[in-house]
Amino acid sequence: MPMESLERNILDRLAKAREHCETNVDLTIIWRECGNVDPIEFAHAWGSLEAGELVHGELYVTDATVEGLGKITTKGEEELKK
């Protein structure tokens, strides 16, 4: 199944952040860099990525914001290269 553009965007931003550090990334920043999409939409995309073991972390979502820490997995980086 093809990856949705928001999912690819999340992976891309996490991969770029990983180039600079091995620690978890503030998901609020990733959400903002993805254009402040609806938090529920972001959570759905994150859930799909997490189910595929492409990302790992803790995501907290409200109607107005996204918070948490996460990072791309090796499997996620491989998927991004496809």
Rounded-to-integer distance, Cα 46 and Cα 7, Å = 7
Q: Which domain holds residue 69?
A: 5-80
The total number of structural domains that make up the chain? 1
pLDDT digits (tens, 9 = 90+) for 9-51: 999 999 888 777 667 899 999 999 999 899 999 999 999 999 9
- Domain with residue 70: its CATH number is 1.10.10.10
Q: pTM for the complete prediction?
A: 0.84
Q: What pLDDT, on a 0 to 100 scale, did the predictor assign at position 3?
A: 60
Q: Furthest-apart CA pair in the chain: how many Å? A: 33
Indicate if the pLDDT at residue 2 is higher than 60. Answer: no
pLDDT digits (tens, 9 = 90+) for 46-73: 999 999 999 999 999 999 999 999 999 9
